[in-house]
Amino acid sequence: MNFDVDKIRGDFPILKKTVNNYPLVYLDNAATTQKPKIVIDKIRHLYSQQNSSIHRGVHWLSEQITENYEEARRAVKEFINARSDHEVIFTSGATGSINAIAFSFGEKFLNHNDEVIVSAMEHHANIVPWQMLCERKGASLKIIPINDKGELVMESLDDMLTSRTRLIALTQVSNSLGTVNPVEEIIEMAHGRDIPVLIDGAQSIQHGIVDVRMMDCDFFVFSGHKIYGPNGIGVLYGKEKWLEELPPYQGGGDMVDTVTFEKTTFNRLPFKFEAGTTNYTGAIALATALNYIEKTGREKIADYESGLHEYAASRLNEIGGIKIYGTAKNKISIISFLIEGIHPYDAGMILDKMGIAVRTGTHCAQPVMDRFEIDGTIRASMAFYNTRSEIDRMVEGIEKVKQMFG
């Protein structure tokens, strides 16, 4: 395979760092990804050469930055294969996007006794906004269960869909288990009953091909910082027919057409959903990150990561006393595990002493931990700049943890 990982690593300045006198091994990519120099340079360039508020001025700087911002919207549209760039709304992140729909869709379409469906493997960001909405409206939240492998129990979904179901909100990839969900199948099932589906793409966007048209989801959300872009920027994709119908979720500048004390009329899409001064530098730098990913090759990235995942899983399975949580048939490069008899925090701290960054805890998915009756896991999440020798270092680190606590 034509994939030069050394060259790629050279694009990410932080990967040259040492931590506790060891070369950094960064395996916390599900929490956030590192930034290539081209993205860092873009942010610097924007603030030092182009900064001005978008959509407001007629002067040169404002026109330049506005054009770049709208270009960024087109880049996102291409990347996720939306029909139109006005189906792409910039938000603060996946959390911001989910909350926007929970508020806007919820206000318009949810009534007393209605139902929203999520799954048992959701990140808190795709649980709490729906819980809050259901509480406001006197509606109920229903949960698609997961089996011991960390896969959705599909048979139970059919029974759950009723005439009161208003929306399904589902993650495409679980951040705690790595499971890839059969979202196309679920969307088809839901559409058969005219139920719209929101897909949380926070963990899928960076691992391969996301095609909102092929998936046919009604809403899709992701965060810039998980796809090698800046934080504080995210995307809400919505089908035009929905976005036209939904009310704005925030009021302020830019989202209005006319304002009088008697009545305000709202701007057209996508601006109706972008109140206030947006994170325009973030949006433009996100487009730089997407372009970098396109140039590297999304399929190549997915293939490489899949090989790395297989290698990591088999190396971990060689060590005795390791239990992997999340053994779904279809997985991406996230491995949650426990070392028998050792608390994940202790393991995480020892690994950190060796320069190895893994995540420990509940990964903002406490219901998953409850499902498996554990307090938390150690999670190694790999990106396309990680290498097999880094996996070997993690394995050596785990052996050391076992010796120390064994």
- Give me the residue label for tokens 């924007």: 46
In this chain, which of 88, 89, 195, 202 binds ligand PMP, going by CB under 6 A? 202
Closer of 302 and 354 to ligand PMP (Cβ): 302
The residues pairing with 180 across neighbouring beta strands, listed in sequence order, are 173
Is 35 among the residues that bind ligand PMP (CB under 6 A)? no
Is 223 among the residues that bind ligand PMP (CB under 6 A)? yes
Binding track over 133-172 against ligand PMP, x by CB under 6 A: --------------------------------------x-
How far is the C-alpha of 106 from the C-alpha of 32, rounded, in Å?
Answer: 29
Is cis: bond before 344, omega within 30 of 0? Answer: no
Closer of 171 and 336 to ligand PMP (Cβ): 171
Among the candidate windows 56-64, 180-188, 196-204, 239-247, which touches ligand PMP by CB under 6 A? 196-204
The bridge status of strand 165-171 relative to strand 115-119 is parallel
User: In this structure, what token pair is assigned to residue 86?
Assistant: 């006005």
Q: What letter represents residue 356's amino acid?
A: I
> Hey, is 68 helix, strand or coil?
helix
In this chain, which of 55, 73, 123, 379 binds ligand PMP, going by CB under 6 A? 123
Catalytic residue flag (residue 364): yes
To the nearest whole angstrom, how small is the minimum distance from the Cβ of residue 129 to ligand PMP?
Answer: 10
Closer of 125 and 401 to ligand PMP (Cβ): 125
Among the candidate windows 142-150, 179-187, 197-205, 367-375, which touches ligand PMP by CB under 6 A? 197-205
> Hey, is 282 helix, strand or coil?
helix
Q: List the alpha helices (DSSP H) in 27-93.
A: 37-45, 60-80
- Give me the residue label for tokens 């060891």: 22
Among the candidate windows 42-50, 53-61, 122-130, 302-310, which touches ligand PMP by CB under 6 A? 122-130
**Which parts of 91-110 interact with ligand PMP (CB under 6 A)?**
93-95
Among the candidate windows 48-56, 118-126, 143-151, 155-163, which touches ligand PMP by CB under 6 A? 118-126
325 Cβ neighbours under 8 A, 6+ residues apart: 150, 176, 177, 336, 337, 338, 372, 374, 377
Binding track over 344-373 against ligand PMP, x by CB under 6 A: --------------------x---------
Is residue 124 classed exposed, middle or buried when 0-12, 13-18 and 19+ CB atoms within 10 A define those classes?
Answer: middle
- Give me the residue label for tokens 């190549």: 300
Q: Which long-range contacts (CB under 8 A, 24 or more apart) does 64-68 make?
A: 65/280, 65/284, 68/280, 68/284
Among the candidate windows 13-21, 101-109, 199-207, 308-316, which touches ligand PMP by CB under 6 A? 199-207
Which one of the listed residues 128, 364, 374, 395 is annotated catalytic? Answer: 364
**CA angle 45–51–57, rounded 5-degree value:** 150
Closer of 227 and 398 to ligand PMP (Cβ): 227
Count Cβ atoms below 10 Å from residue 144 Cβ, excluding itself.
20
Active site residues: 364
* Interface positions with ligand PMP (CB under 6 A): 93-95, 123, 125-126, 171, 175, 200, 202-203, 223, 225, 364
